Amino acid sequence: MAVHCATEREIGAALRAFAAQHQSAHHLAYAFRIKTEGGIVQRFSDAGEPSGTAGMPVLKLIEGRDLINVCVAVIRYYGGINLGTGGLARAYGGTAKMALDAARVGDFVEMQTIALTIHYNQMDAVTRALAKCNGSILNKAFNEQINLEVSLPKSEAGDFLSRFS
C-alpha cells in the first residue's frame, strides 16, 4: 500500500485500515515521510522482523525517490520458510517498490493556513480565488463579517492576503 498522508493521524488511520484488511497477516512493516511545520518527519517500523530488514528498506525507497507526505506499508504472511536478513530486505523493499510504481505521484505543494476576516460581498470572490489556486475553506463563522480559515499554496498566500485583507 502506498498512500498520501499529510499528518501522523492520517498515517495511523491508513495503517489501521490496511491492517483490518489483512487481519491474519503476521507482519505489517511500514515507513513514512511527511513535512510538518517543524521540518520533515520520517519513521519506520520493522513489525517484529530483525532490525532494519523491513521498514528501513521501505524508508530508503521513499527517500531515494525524494517523496514527501507518503506512507508505504507492506504486509507479510509467514509461510514457514526463513528468508534471512537479506531475503527479508529484498522482499519488503521489492514489494514497496511495486506499490510505489503503481501509485500516482503528484508534485508536492506546500500549503499554508491563513485566518481571514471578510465582508459578505467578498465571499464569492474569495471562493473563486481559492478554487483557482487549489485552496480550500477549512472553517467559517458568520457574524457581522465572515471569519475564515483557509488553506492555500504557500506561494499564493502573499497575493491572496493583499487582495482580501
Closest-CA residue to 28 (of 62, 58, 65): 58
Residue 106: the pLDDT is 82
> When comparing pLDDT for 78 and 30, which is higher?
30
Residue 49: pLDDT over 90: yes
In a 3-state reduction of DSSP, which class is residue 160? helix
Residue 37 confidence class, pLDDT cut points 50, 70, 90:
confident
Residue showing cell 478554487: 131
- Separation of alpha carbons 148 and 114, rounded Å: 8
The angle at the Cα of 80, spanning 50 to 44, to the nearest 5 degrees, equals 30
| Beta strand 111-118 pairing with 146-153 | antiparallel
Write down the pTM of the prediction.
0.73
Average pLDDT over residues 109-125: 91
